[in-house]
C-alpha cells in the first residue's frame, strides 16, 4: 500500500482521476466505474453477443471484446474502462476445457476434484487474444479514462477448477483443501504463477491498474481465509510489484467482512473493494489510514432507483469524508439494471 496525504483535489486537475485515486489522492467528486459495466444490461452488448454467437466467442475475438469494453465509455463516460474478459481464462490456459452452458454458466473439464493437476497440459497461447484486446482498447480509449485489467484470485479460480463449475458453498473445493491440502496448494500455486504472468502481460499491453476478484472469499473460516485468500494474494502482489512497481492493485475479497482489515494490512494492496454488505463508516474507521476504497452501492438499489438510489449514494459518499474513494457497486451490475438509473447515478455523483 502506498502512503497518501489524501488531500482533496478537483477532478479537472488530473488527466486520469481514477488512476490518481488508486495512487492515494482524493478526488471530489469521486471517480466512478461499475463492475460488469460492459455487459448484458446494454442493448448494444446484447446485439454484438448475438452476432458473435456467445460469451466465449466474444472474449476470443479481440476486436469485438475491445468494442464491448468501450461501449459503456461511449455511452456513459465512466472514469474507468474494465477489460472485457472472464476469470476462467486462467483455467483454460492451464489446460482445462472451458465452455458456457446456456442459462447455467461456465463449465470446466476435467474437474480437479477427481483428476490430478498433472493431467493438464498448459496452453498459455489461449491468453493471447486478451492481450490484443488490451492493445486495441488502449489505442481507442479517451486520454482521461483509466484502463483496468483483472484476474480472478486463486481461491475463487480454484473453486471452479475443482468443481468444474460455480457453486454456492464451494463445498468440493473446501473439502479438498481440508482433505488434501498438499494437492490443493499445488492447484493454488499453479494459479498464482499463471496469474502473475497474465496480469503482467495485461500491464505490458497497456492497462493502468488491475483488480483481483475473489468472489467466493466469504465462504472460508478465518484460518482458511488466511491460507487460501491472503497468502496467495500476498505472493501475487509482491511478484507484480517487482515487475511493475507503479501499477496500482485493487483487492476485492467479496464477503470478507470483519477480515477486511487483516486482508488490507497483510496483502498491502493499493486499494480495497468493498461489497454491499460492508458498513462504509465501519470501513472508514477500521481500515488503514489513507488506503483508497472502492464501492459499495448495492446493485439492487441501482435497479430500484429513486429515493433508494439517492439516499444510498449520499450515505456512501458521506462515509468517506477524507479517504480516497472510487465510487462503484458492491458487486457487478445486474442484467435488469435500467440505463436511466445508471444515468441518474452519474448525475448524482457529478453534481456540485
Domains and CATH numbers, the chain: 8-350 (3.20.20.210)
Q: Are 250 and 210 in contact (CB under 8 A)?
A: yes
Among 253, 271, 286, smallest CA distance to 326 is for 271
Q: Are 252 and 211 in contact (CB under 8 A)?
A: yes
Q: Are 288 and 1 in contact (CB under 8 A)?
A: yes
**The C-alpha cell of 267 is what?**
496483502
**Which pLDDT belongs to residue 196?**
98
Q: Is 127 left (phi over 0), alpha (psi -120 to 50) or beta?
A: alpha
Our CA angle for 274, 277, 280, nearest 5°, is: 55
Among 296, 341, 305, smallest CA distance to 41 is for 341
Catalytic residues: 36, 40, 49, 86, 160
DSSP assigned state of 32: B
**Which pLDDT belongs to residue 352?**
59
Among 14, 44, 43, 41, smallest CA distance to 30 is for 14
Burial of 7: CB neighbours in 10 Å, binned 0-12, 13-18, 19+: exposed
The CA-atom distances, in angstroms, between 6 and each of 21, 38, 260, 313 are 9, 30, 20, 21
β-strands 146-152, 209-214 pairing:
parallel
Burial 22-50 (b: 16+ CB within 10 A, else e): bbbbbbebbbbbbbbbbbbbbeebeebbe
Among 246, 231, 233, 307, smallest CA distance to 273 is for 233
Q: What is the pLDDT along the chain (352 residues), one digit of tens a residue?
A: 444 434 444 444 348 999 999 999 999 999 999 999 999 999 999 999 999 988 999 999 999 999 999 999 999 999 999 999 999 999 999 999 999 988 788 999 999 999 999 999 999 999 999 999 999 999 999 999 999 999 999 999 999 999 999 987 899 999 999 999 999 999 999 999 999 999 999 999 999 999 999 999 999 999 999 999 999 999 999 999 999 999 999 999 999 999 999 999 999 999 999 999 999 999 999 999 999 999 999 999 999 999 999 999 999 999 999 999 999 999 999 999 999 999 999 999 998 5
Burial of 93: CB neighbours in 10 Å, binned 0-12, 13-18, 19+: buried
Distance CA 13, CA 73 (A): 20
Helices H, strands E: what count in the chain?
A: 16, 11
**Which pLDDT belongs to residue 15?**
80
Among 97, 85, 238, 194, smallest CA distance to 150 is for 85
Amino acid at each position: 500500500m502506498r502512503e497518501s496525504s489524501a488531500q482533496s483535489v478537483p477532478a479537472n486537475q488530473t488527466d486520469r482521476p481514477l488512476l490518481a485515486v488508486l495512487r492515494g489522492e482524493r478526488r471530489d467528486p469521486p471517480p466512478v466505474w461499475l463492475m460488469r459495466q460492459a455487459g448484458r444490461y446494454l442493448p448494444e452488448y446484447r446485439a454484438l453477443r448475438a452476432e458473435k454467437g456467445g460469451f466465449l466467442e466474444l472474449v476470443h475475438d479481440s476486436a469485438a471484446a475491445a468494442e464491448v469494453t468501450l461501449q459503456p465509455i461511449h455511452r456513459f463516460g465512466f472514469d474507468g474502462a474494465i477489460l472485457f474478459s472472464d476469470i476462467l481464462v486462467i483455467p483454460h490456459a492451464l489446460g482445462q476445457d472451458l465452455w458456457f452452458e446456456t442459462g447455467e454458466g461456465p463449465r470446466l473439464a476435467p474437474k480437479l476434484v477427481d483428476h490430478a493437476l498433472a493431467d493438464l497440459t498448459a496452453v498459455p497461447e489461449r491468453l493471447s487474444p486478451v492481450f490484443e484486446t488490451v492493445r486495441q482498447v488502449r489505442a481507442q480509449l479517451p486520454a482521461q479514462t483509466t484502463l483496468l485489467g483483472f484476474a480472478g484470485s486463486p481461491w475463487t479460480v480454484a473453486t471452479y477448477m475443482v468443481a468444474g463449475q460455480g457453486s454456492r458453498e464451494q463445498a468440493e473445493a473446501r473439502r479438498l483443501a481440508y482433505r488434501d491440502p498438499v494437492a490443493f496448494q499445488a492447484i493454488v500455486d499453479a494459479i498464482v504463477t499463471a496469474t502473475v504472468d497474465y496480469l503482467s502481460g495485461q500491464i505490458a499491453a497497456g492497462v493502468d491498474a488491475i483488480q483481483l476478484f475473489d468472489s467466493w472469499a466469504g465462504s472460508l473460516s478465518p484460518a482458511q481465509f488466511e491460507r487460501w485468500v491472503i497468502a496467495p494474494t500476498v505472493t501475487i502482489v509482491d511478484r507484480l510489484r517487482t515487475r511493475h512497481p507503479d501499477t496500482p492493485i485493487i483487492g476485492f475479497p467479496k464477503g470478507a467482512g470483519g477480515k477486511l482489515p487483516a486482508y488490507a494490512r497483510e496483502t498491502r494492496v493499493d486499494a480495497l473493494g468493498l461489497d454491499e454488505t460492508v458498513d462504509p463508516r465501519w470501513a472508514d474507521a477500521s481500515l488503514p489510514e489513507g488506503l483508497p476504497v472502492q464501492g459499495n452501492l448495492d446493485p439492487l438499489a441501482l435497479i430500484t432507483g429513486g429515493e433508494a438510489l439517492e439516499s444510498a449514494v449520499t450515505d456512501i459518499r458521506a462515509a468517506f469524508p477524507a479517504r480516497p474513494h472510487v465510487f462503484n457497486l458492491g458487486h457487478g451490475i445486474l442484467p435488469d439494471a435500467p440505463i436511466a438509473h445508471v444515468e441518474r447515478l452519474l448525475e448524482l455523483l457529478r453534481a456540485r
